[in-house]
Chains A and B, each alone.
Chain A
Amino acid sequence: GENVEQHPSTLSVQEGDSAVIKCTYSDSASNYFPWYKQELGKRPQLIIDIRSNVGEKKDQRIAVTLNKTAKHFSLHITETQPEDSAVYFCAAPVNTGFQKLVFGTGTRLLVSP
């Protein structure tokens, strides 16, 4: 199928806790997995991405892990801060005769002080 499944749909954590968002994809040929952050009333922005030749990538407090065998990838945010509150979207390429990027349904993360 074309779907990219994303869980959970909402996530509430206390400041300083870790947050994990998971996505699964269906196209085994997919080789690029970006994560976008959309703050309230703003545009989505790329925060991190991973390509299929690596299993993990880190950038300060955020990291993404990829399990190609299981066809899932996850976003990890450590030491969460209130400014991390936003909607996070994962995405993966899907080939339906042409390649297109399909976005997950989004996870609303709320970090409480």
Chain B
Amino acid sequence: DSGVTQTPKHLITATGQRVTLRCSPRSGDLSVYWYQQSLDQGLQFLIQYYNGEERAKGNILERFSAQQFPDLHSELNLSSLELGDSALYFCASSVGSGPHNEQFFGPGTRLTVL
């Protein structure tokens, strides 16, 4: 158990819908990262927040948005869902903001878009 929690574990929805994925980082960690992992694909970095502010951006679609709240939990919002958005979404957290900090991954949320 990494100490990073994600909810829900599974999510099944229809095309065009909007969903929210939630992540709570390890106690003491200020950075939260979001990754997308499609079937047999690598880890695609989406976005990073550090202490409430956006820190780094990856290949995040305009239909996706995220935020980090004062209590440091983070939410990833996916809207106008398409079949291709079906994937495993991981959240990770680290103490610091730089890429040299070990990232601790949550168990992931499996999103299925029908």
Contacts and interface: CB of A to CB of B under 8 A. Distances in A.
Do A and B truly interact? yes
Interface of A: 31-32, 34, 42-46, 49, 51, 89, 93, 98-106
Contacts of B107: 42-43
Interface in B36-61: 41-43, 45, 48, 55-58
Given A32-B100, A93-B99, A100 B48 contact: yes
Interface of B: 2, 41-43, 45, 48, 55-58, 90, 98-100, 102-103, 105-108
A93 B45 CA distance: 12
Contacts of A31: 100
Contacts of B90: 43-44
B103 A46 contact: yes
A105 B41 CA distance: 7
A32 B107 CA distance: 25
A101 B102 contact: no
Given A43-B90, A45-B2, A103 B106 contact: no
A51 B100 contact: yes
A51 B107 CA distance: 27
B105 A101 contact: no
Contacts of A106: 42-43
B43 A100 contact: no
Given A43-B107, A105-B42, A49 B102 contact: yes
Nearest to A2: B58
A45 B105 contact: yes
Contact of A101 (B42, B57, B99): B99
A30 to B, nearest CB: 9
Contacts of A93: 98-100
B103 A89 contact: no
Given A43-B107, A103-B43, 14 more contacts: A42-B107, A43-B90, A44-B90, A46-B102, A93-B98, A93-B99, A98-B56, A99-B98, A100-B56, A101-B45, A101-B99, A104-B42, A105-B41, A105-B42
